[in-house]
Structure 1
Amino acid sequence: MRYDLVIFDNDGVLVDSEPISNTILAAYLTELGHPTSYEDSLRDYMGAAVHRVHDLVLERTGKRLPGDFDDTLHARVFATFERELEAVRGVVDVLGKLKAEGVTYCVASSGSHERIRVGHRKTGLDTWFRDETIFSAQDVGRGKPAPDLFLYAAERMGVPPERCAVVEDSPLGVAAARAAGMDVYGFTAMTSEAELDGAQGYFDDMALLLGLLERPHL
Structure 2
Amino acid sequence: MTFTIQAVIFDSDGTLLDSETLGMDLLWELARDAGLPLTRDEAHRRFRGVGIAEVGGWVMAELGRTESDQVASFVDRYHRGILRRFHEALAPMPGAVDLLEALPLPVAVATNGPREKVGLGLALTGLDRFFGDKVFSAPELGHFKPDPELFLIAARALKTPPGRCAVVEDSLPGLVAGLAAGMRVYSLHPREGLPEDLAAQLVFIDSLSDFGRKIGLLPPPTMTKH
Q: Which residue of structure 2 aligns with residue 84 of structure 1?
A: 89
Pairwise CA distance, 1:25: 0.5
Deviation at 1:29, TM superposition (A): 1.2
1:37–1:95 CA distance, 2 compared to 1 (3 A): same
Matched, 1:39 2:30: no
Offset, 1:120: 1.4
Q: Deviations over 1:147-169 (max 9, x none)?
A: 12112211222222111110011
Q: Is the 8 A contact 1:174 1:198 kept in 2?
A: no
Q: How far 1:55 moved relative to its partner?
A: 4.2
The superposition leaves residues 61-117 of structure 1 with CA deviations (integer Å, 9 ceiling, x where unpaired) of 55343422222111111101111111111111110111xx2x111111111111111
Q: Which residue of 2 aligns with 1:136?
A: 137
SS in 2 for 1:68: helix
Residues 12 and 55 of structure 1, relative CA distance in 2, 3 Å threshold:
same
Partner of 1:163: 164
Aligned counterpart, 1:73: 78
- Aligned-pair CA distance for 1:146: 1.9
Q: How does 1:14-163 map to 2 (within 5 A)?
A: 14-57=16-59, 60=62, 62-64=64-66, 65-98=70-103, 101=104, 103-130=105-132, 132-163=133-164
Question: Shift in Å at residue 129 of structure 1?
Answer: 1.9
Alignment check: 8 A CA contact 2:115 2:140 kept: no
Per the alignment, in what secondary structure is the counterpart of residue 135 of structure 1? strand
CA gap 1:36/1:144 in 2 versus in 1, 3 angstroms: farther
In 1, the alpha carbon distance for the partners of 2:200 and 2:147 equals: 15
**Matched residue type, 2:98:** D
CA contact (8 A) 2:30 2:74 kept: no
Point out where structure 1 has 5 or more consecutive residues left out of the alignment.
Answer: none
RMSD: 2.0
Q: SS of the residue aligned with 1:11?
A: coil
Paired position in structure 2 for 1:192? 190
SS of the aligned residue for 2:76 comes to helix
Moved over 4 A (4+): 58-62
Mapped contact 1:185–1:199 kept (Cα < 8 A): no
Question: How far apart in 2 are the matches of 1:179 and 1:55?
Answer: 27
**What's the TM-score once normalised by structure 1's chain length?**
0.86
More moved, 49-58 vs 17-26: 49-58
CA distance in 2, matches of 1:60, 1:180: 34
Question: Residues 139, 163 of structure 1: CA spacing in aligned structure 2 closer, same or farther, 3 A cutoff?
Answer: farther
**Counterpart residue number, 2:224:** none
Name the CA distance, whole Å, in 2 between partners of 1:199 and 1:79: 38
Q: What percent of counterpart residues are identical?
A: 34
For the residue of structure 1 that corresponds to 2:4, the secondary structure is coil
CA distance in 2, matches of 1:158, 1:62: 48
Do the aligned residues in 2 keep the contact of 1:144 with 1:172 (CA within 8 Å)?
yes
Larger Rg: 2
CA distance, structure 2, for counterparts of residue 213 and residue 177 of structure 1: 17
One-letter code aligned to 1:43: R
1:56 is displaced (CA, Å) by 3.0
